[in-house]
């Protein structure tokens, strides 16, 4: 029987170099506890590139234009866990409070909504928002809704654009909505639940690294969902992002963050609305 060669050792110095690079490029803070994870997840890239050490990989990343490799590395080192209607109480709030107010304010006019899912992973968050809006906005009224969904990972964005999911992925979607907004395509095997064209058309996916000094969109957004992304960033980066989200939100806009992501230590003028939701006023 053939034995696989063991992954090379990841020295403290190599880990420090790689961590610094990752923090600079995408904000993710790889603490000491993540050393084994970094070693395991990058071992395959080393093998594929024929490199003998993590130090050689670091040098490879730094020499020449390695944008594609950098994207691959950030992809394997970040967490992409997500689910449909994650933190359901936020979706209840949107439907029962935010949209009711929005509809009241719109009077008989057109209902315009601009939404951004920042760090959308494989698309579940953006499609959940689209389905919720389809269900909540009244028929017979004109609405103009656009959802922008961005992520760092090109692999996640490809999955999101495909919009096909397994039975396990769609288990949190209310059955009536699953029936209405998804179709089953048995030729796709296990990932046979396909997002309907109506829902797909509402969402545009694009690659965006939140660490970039300038973002292409000008806003204003009514809703920004940036959930379970900033949790991996240090407070200085979180502070910068929250300031940037504030500037891009409309006057009565709302920012949703993840359950475990408080604003402690972050200077801000947001009003806490409960359920990890923050209002601009």
For ligand SAM, the binding residues (CB under 6 A) are 26-28, 78-82, 86, 119-121, 125, 151-153, 156, 209-211, 227-229, 258
We find the least distance from the C-beta atom of residue 79 to ligand SAM, in angstroms, to be 5
Least Å from the CB of residue 34 to ligand SAM: 14
The distance of closest approach from Cβ of residue 239 to ligand SAM in the complex, given in angstroms and rounded to an integer, is 15
Question: Going by C-beta distance under 8 Å and a sequence separation of 6 or more, which residues neighbour residue 177?
Answer: 131, 135
Q: Produce one character per residue of 207-237: b if its CB has 16 or more CB atoms within 10 Å, e if not.
A: ebbbbeeeeeeebebbbbbbbbbbebbeeeb
Q: In terms of CB distance, is 4 or 213 closer to ligand SAM?
A: 213
Q: In angstroms, what is the minimal distance from the CB of 83 to ligand SAM?
A: 6
Helices in the chain by DSSP H: which ranges?
12-26, 35-49, 54-62, 67-77, 88-93, 99-106, 124-136, 154-162, 175-181, 197-200, 235-248
Cβ of residue 78: shortest distance to ligand SAM, in angstroms? Answer: 4
| Percent of the chain as helix, strand, coil, to the nearest 5 | 45, 20, 35
Which CB sits closer to ligand SAM, 152 or 194?
A: 152
Residue whose CB is less far from ligand SAM, 229 or 248: 229
Considering beta carbons, is residue 196 or 259 the nearer one to ligand SAM? Answer: 259
Closer to ligand SAM at the Cβ: 14 or 125?
A: 125
Burial of 105 from C-beta contacts in 10 A (0-12 / 13-18 / 19+): exposed
78 vs 164, beta carbon nearer ligand SAM: 78
Residue 141: CB atoms within 10 Å: 12
Q: How far is the CB of 152 from ligand SAM (least distance, A)?
A: 4
CA dist., res. 65 & res. 15, Å (int): 22
């Amino acid at each position: 029987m053939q034995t696989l060669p063991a992954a090379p050792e990841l020295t403290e110095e190599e880990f420090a170099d790689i961590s610094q690079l990752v923090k600079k490029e995408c904000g993710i803070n790889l603490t000491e506890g993540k050393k084994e994870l970094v070693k395991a997840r990058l071992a395959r890239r080393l093998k594929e590139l024929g490199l003998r050490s993590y130090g050689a990989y670091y040098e490879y990343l730094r020499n020449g234009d390695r944008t594609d490799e950098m994207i691959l590395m950030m992809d394997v080192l970040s967490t992409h866990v997500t689910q449909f209607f994650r933190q359901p109480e936020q979706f209840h709030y949107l439907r029962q409070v935010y949209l009711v107010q929005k509809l009241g304010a719109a009077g008989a006019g057109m209902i315009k909504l601009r939404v951004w899912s920042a760090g959308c992973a494989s698309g579940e968050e953006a499609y959940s928002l689209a389905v919720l809006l389809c269900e909540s906005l009244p028929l017979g009224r004109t609405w103009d809704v656009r959802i922008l969904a961005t992520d760092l990972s090109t692999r996640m964005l490809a999955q999101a654009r495909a919009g096909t999911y397994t039975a396990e992925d769609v288990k949190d979607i209310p059955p009536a909505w699953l029936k209405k907004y998804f179709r089953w395509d048995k030729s796709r095997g296990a990932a046979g639940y396909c997002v309907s064209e109506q829902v797909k058309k509402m969402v545009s996916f694009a690659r965006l690294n939140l660490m970039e000094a300038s973002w292409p969109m000008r806003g204003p957004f009514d809703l920004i969902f940036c959930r379970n992304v900033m949790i991996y960033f240090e407070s200085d980066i979180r502070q910068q992002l929250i300031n940037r989200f504030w500037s891009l939100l409309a006057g009565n806009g709302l920012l949703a963050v993840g359950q475990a992501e408080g604003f402690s230590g972050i200077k801000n003028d947001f009003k806490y609305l409960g359920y990890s939701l923050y209002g601009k006023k």
